[in-house]
Each structure stands twice: as C-alpha cells, then as structure tokens.
Amino acid sequence: MTQIALVTYPGLTALDLIGPYEVLRMLPGADVRFVWHEIGPITADSGVLVIGATHTFRETPRPDIVLVPGGSASVMIHADDPELRKWLRAVREHATWTASVCAGSVILGAAGLLRGRRATSHWQAVETLRAFGATPCADERIVHDGDVVTAAGVSAGIDLALWIAAQMDGEERAKAIQLAIEYDPRPPFDSGSVATSSAATVARATAILARDTVTLPHASSAARVMWKAAIRRARTGRRRRRSVTPTG
C-alpha cells in the first residue's frame, strides 16, 4: 500500500491539489489522505469550493508521498505555521517523495527542506525560494533534487504527479494513467509561461493574482516568514565563517 498525504489547508488553490490527486489515486494500493490539523471542510482560495480534510497530521506520521499545494492568498500564512513545518520535517525522514506544486514550495522552504537544493515554484514566487537557501529554477516545470521534487504553477501539478507515478510504479503505469485521464494538453494560446507571454499578458495575470494576495494577514505572515529565513541564513553564514581557521 502506498500512503499519499495531500496537505489540505484553508485557501489552497484547488487545481494544485486535485490535479495530482486524480493521478496519484490511480497508483496500485493508493491510500490517499487529505491531511490537516483537524478533519472537516476546507475552503479553497475561490471562497466557494470546499474540500474535506480526511485525516490529521497525528494520524499520518509516515506517508510514502507528501504533497503540498500552493495558495495565492494563504501560502505565507501556512508557511508561518510551526506545527505544519514540524510535521513536514518529520515525515520527510521516511517519505519516498516530498513534493510541492506552485507556491507550496514556499512552505517546504519555510520548513527548511529546500536548503541547498534546486527548486521551482509559480513564476511570481520562484525567486522567494532564494531566501530559504534554495537555488530557484524559473525555467523548469519539474525540479527534483534528492527526495524532494517541486513543480511550477498550478497545472504543473499534473506533470509532477505523472513523474512521481513513473518513479513509484514505472513509466508504463504513468503512461496508462495519463491516457486514463486523457491528459493531452493543446491550449488555444501559447501564453502558459512568462517566456512565451507578452508584457501586457503578464501585467493582466499579475493584476488577477493580486486580487487574492494583497491582504493584511498575508502581508503580516509574509513578513514573519521572510524575517525568520533571513535570520537563519545570517546565523548559518556566521557559523561557517567562525569555522574557517585563519592561515598565514
């Protein structure tokens, strides 16, 4: 049996979670758990869609796969959650893969799981990863470094889950899952990345995203998370300098 823990927090972006879920639930013996502090309804960032958390962190101490979605207005709030960070550090010790979609990598970074690793995120958040000691990879859709794998924004979660499926049960299983969900994307526009979009399209997309992200709780949590990251990096750098023996 493969236990799959999908972190299900208030304000998550639904496709970040549901896309990978539809892929990973088709693995043999999949035991899918939507995990949070407590079981019950969780409202996505739209304020309309509701998803149910089925298990608590305490009930899920050793999942095989852990996946953290992003959430435009709430990711920094949850990156500032000490219990979530502690659980992620603990379960990563036993998990085969610890993964994130979109800005979920910011939560992994805040938990200290990206230090010294290459990682990606949503195009608006990818440079934020540098504050957590990661090397941002803005031009890659999926980045795996050791047992941690991160995906770019939202729809990239489907690609990520297919990649994980191939690692867990072989490429033929992953290909069969891809066909089962008829994942054969042919978008009507070539504007799925910053590199292929005009400046006007980037500006419009930024304005759409800003409606959800400019909130006082988000800003307050963001400030705390980034401040803690800066302090950790400063203290780590100081310890490294002290460990160097002077010569000459």
In a domain, residue 248? The reply is no
In a domain, residue 125? The reply is yes
Q: Across residues 173-180, what is the average pLDDT?
A: 98
Range of the domain at 174: 2-243
Tell me phi and psi for residue 62, to 5 degrees: -140, 60
CB 113 within 8 A of CB 89: yes
In a domain, residue 221? The reply is yes
Q: Across residues 109-138, what is the average pLDDT?
A: 97
Mean pLDDT of the chain: 92
Cα distance between residue 101 and residue 158, in whole Å: 9
Cα dihedral sign for 49, 33, 70, 174? negative
- Could you say which DSSP state residue 126 is in? G
CA neighbours closer than 13 Å in the CB half-sphere of residue 50: 4
Pick the range with the lowest mean pLDDT from 16-25, 119-128, 174-183, 234-243.
234-243
> Which carries the bigger pLDDT value, residue 16 or residue 217?
16
Q: With 90 as the cut, is the pLDDT of residue 111 above it?
A: yes
CA neighbours closer than 13 Å in the CB half-sphere of residue 161: 30
Nearest CA to 68 out of 115, 110, 116, 26 is that of 110
pLDDT band per the 50, 70, 90 thresholds, residue 226: confident
Q: Which of 15, 77, 95, 102 is catalytic?
A: 102
Cα dihedral sign for 194, 147, 105, 135? negative
In a domain, residue 35? The reply is yes
Edge-to-edge order in the sheet of strand 65-68: 55-56, 30-36, 2-7, 65-68, 97-100, 148-151, 142-145
Q: Across residues 134-154, what is the average pLDDT?
A: 97
Q: Which CATH number belongs to the domain containing residue 217 in this structure?
A: 3.40.50.880
Q: What is the pTM of this model?
A: 0.88
Confidence at residue 105, expressed as pLDDT on a 0 to 100 scale: 98
Into how many domains does the chain fold? 1
Confidence at residue 248, expressed as pLDDT on a 0 to 100 scale: 42
Q: With 90 as the cut, is the pLDDT of residue 229 above it?
A: no
Cα distance between residue 200 and residue 204, in whole Å: 6
pLDDT band per the 50, 70, 90 thresholds, residue 209: confident
Residue type, 171: E
> Which carries the bigger pLDDT value, residue 225 or residue 221?
225
Confidence at residue 200, expressed as pLDDT on a 0 to 100 scale: 95
Cα distance between residue 144 and residue 168, in whole Å: 14
Pick the range with the lowest mean pLDDT from 8-22, 201-215, 234-248.
234-248
pLDDT band per the 50, 70, 90 thresholds, residue 216: very low
* CA-to-CA separations, 107 to 74, 174, 239, in angstroms, rounded: 11, 27, 25
Q: What is the pLDDT of residues 41-89, one digit of tens each?
A: 999 999 999 999 999 999 999 999 999 999 988 999 999 999 999 999 9
Tokens of 39: 């079981």
Would you call 137 a catalytic residue per the annotation? no
Burial status of residue 151 (CB atoms within 10 A of its CB: 0-12, 13-18, 19 or more): buried
Q: With 60 as the cut, is the pLDDT of residue 215 above it?
A: no
Cα distance between residue 140 and residue 195, in whole Å: 11
Q: With 80 as the cut, is the pLDDT of residue 129 above it?
A: yes
Nearest CA to 101 out of 166, 40, 38, 162 is that of 162
Q: Across residues 185-205, what is the average pLDDT?
A: 94
CB 37 within 8 A of CB 26: no
